[in-house]
Each structure stands twice: as C-alpha cells, then as structure tokens.
C-alpha cells in the first residue's frame, strides 16, 4: 500500500507561498527573472504578497526548474515533491497543465 500523501490547507499553502517569495527575493538574478515573467515591479509584488492567487504564481515560477524547487524545498524544510501539492491548495492549482 502506498503511503498517504499529505494535503495542505490554503492557510499553510499561503505561508509556504510567502516563504517561496522570500526565497526568490533573496537572489537578485532569480528575483529579476521573476519580475520579468510576472510583468511587474518590486512595489507591486509587495502589494500582492498576501494574495493566494499571486502566491500560486510564485510557486508556478519555482516549479519551472527543478533546481529552483530543490533549493527552495531545502530552505523551507520540506520535500521537493510537496511543492506541487502545496500549489494545488492555492487558487488555480487544480487546473491541469496541458502544455
């Protein structure tokens, strides 16, 4: 029997999203890439930082590269495979990726 996968509440996923945003912001190159992809600036990021939908985008950005996921998971003390389940708890996370 496979072990039961942990599910995450929107509250815990929001906390993890904020941690991910902080992780991204500590690396100038990564933060620059994030701002470019988001089409925004640091001031707007601060204004949106508590929006669960925006935090879903933050996790989507991290999940674009394995190295980002692994680095963040290590810093947050979670398993890399948890990131997708955490993302699923935020708005838009249950939408399948068709590309």
Residues 56-85 have pLDDT tens digits of 999 999 999 999 999 999 999 999 999 999
Distance (Å, whole) CA 57 – CA 20:
10
CA dihedral 52, 54, 58, 61 (to 10 degrees): 130
Q: Is the pLDDT of residue 1 over 60?
A: no
What confidence tens digit (pLDDT) does each residue in 23-34 have?
A: 999 999 999 999
pTM: predicted TM-score of the whole model, two decimal places: 0.87
Confidence at 5, pLDDT banded by 50, 70, 90:
low
Mean pLDDT over residues 36-61, rounded? 96
Distance (Å, whole) CA 1 – CA 21:
36
Say what the pLDDT of residue 16 is.
97
Going from N- to C-terminal start, the domains of the chain cover: 10-88
């Amino acid at each position: 029997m496979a072990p039961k996968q942990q599910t995450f509440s929107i509250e815990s996923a929001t906390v993890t999203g904020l941690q991910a945003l902080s992780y991204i912001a500590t690396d100038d190159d990564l933060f620059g890439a994030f701002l470019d992809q988001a089409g925004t600036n640091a001031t707007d990021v601060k204004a949106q930082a508590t929006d669960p939908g925006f935090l879903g985008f933050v996790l989507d950005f991290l999940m674009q590269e394995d190295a980002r996921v692994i680095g963040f998971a290590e810093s947050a003390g979670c398993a890399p495979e948890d990131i997708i389940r955490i993302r699923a708890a935020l708005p838009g996370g249950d939408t399948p990726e068709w590309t």
